[in-house]
Amino acid sequence: MAKNKFNKNWLHDHINDPYVKLAQKEGYRARAAYKLKEIDESEKLIKPGQIIVDLGCAPGSWSQYARNKLAGKAGGGINGVIIGLDMLPMEPIADVHFIQGDFREQEVLEQLEQVVGERKVDLVLSDMAPNLSGIAVTDAARVELIIDLAIDFAKAHMKPSGALLVKCFNGTGFAQLVEKFRQEFKTVTQKKPQASRDKSSEVFLLGKGLKNPA
C-alpha cells in the first residue's frame, strides 16, 4: 500500500513538474538538461570548438543541451565535437558520436580515440548514478566508485586546463568525495541547481584544472 502511494505521489509530482513540462515543450529527453543548463550558464563550461565527452549519456538530454550550445555553424552541424558513452543503448542525436559500451574497456576507448585522434578533451560530463539500495554505506561506496571512474577518465583524456562535472549525493561519504576532488583539481565548486528536486540529495561537483594530469 505504502509503495503504491509513493508511486502515485511521484507520478503526480512528475506530471506537474515545471521542468518536465519544459523538457517536453523544448524537445529534451529528460528534465536533467536544465540542471546542466543552470550550471553551464553560471560557470561558462560549454564553448564553441570544444571536445566534450558525456559519460553515462543515455537517454541523452545532456548531450542534447551541449549539442544545442555548439550549434549554429554555417551550413549546419556543430562547432565542436560531442561524444556520448553509455552501456545502455541511446536513440541517435544529430552531430553526437555515440559509443555503446563500458568506457573502461579497450575496445570502447579505441572507438573514442578514432573520434578525437591525438586531441585532448575540454570537458567531461557525468550524470551517472548507481542503483541506490537505501543502505547508506553501500550507496556511498557505489557513488564513490563511479566518481573514481570519472576522475580516472578525465586524468587520462582531458586537457590539463579542462573541467569535470559529476553528479553525487550529499550524505555519507560526500566530504571524502569533495576532498578527493580537491586533491585532483585546482578549483572545486559544489553546485545545486534549482532544477534538482527539493527532496533530492543530489549535488554536482565541478573540478577545473588538473593538478596531476596523466
Domains of the chain and CATH, by start: 30-210 (3.40.50.150)
Task: For residue 186, give the amino acid letter.
Answer: K
Summarize the confidence of residues 181-193 as an average pLDDT: 97
Q: Which residues are annotated as a binding site for S-adenosyl-L-methionine?
A: 60, 62, 86, 102, 127
Global pTM value? 0.91
Query: What HEC string does 139-199 produce?
Result: HHHHHHHHHHHHHHHHHHHEEEEEEEEEEEECCCCHHHHHHHHHHHEEEEEEECCCCCCCC
Output the CA torsion sign for 17, 23, 29, 32: negative
Decide which of 49 and 198 is more confident.
Answer: 49
DSSP structural state of residue 48: T
pLDDT of residue 200: 83
Task: For residue 139, give the amino acid letter.
Answer: D
Check pLDDT > 70 for residue 124.
Answer: yes
Burial class of residue 200 in the structure, from the number of CB atoms within 10 Å of its CB (0-12 exposed, 13-18 middle, 19+ buried): exposed
Q: How far apart are CA 198 and CA 177, in angstroms?
A: 22
pLDDT of residue 1: 45
Q: How far apart are CA 34 and CA 51, in angstroms?
A: 21
Check pLDDT > 80 for residue 3.
Answer: no
> Known catalytic residues?
167
Q: How far apart are CA 141 and CA 136, in angstroms?
A: 9
pLDDT of residue 4: 63
Q: Which residues are annotated as a binding site?
A: 60, 62, 86, 102, 127
DSSP structural state of residue 71: B
Q: How far apart are CA 129 and CA 136, in angstroms?
A: 14
Decide which of 75 and 174 is more confident.
Answer: 174
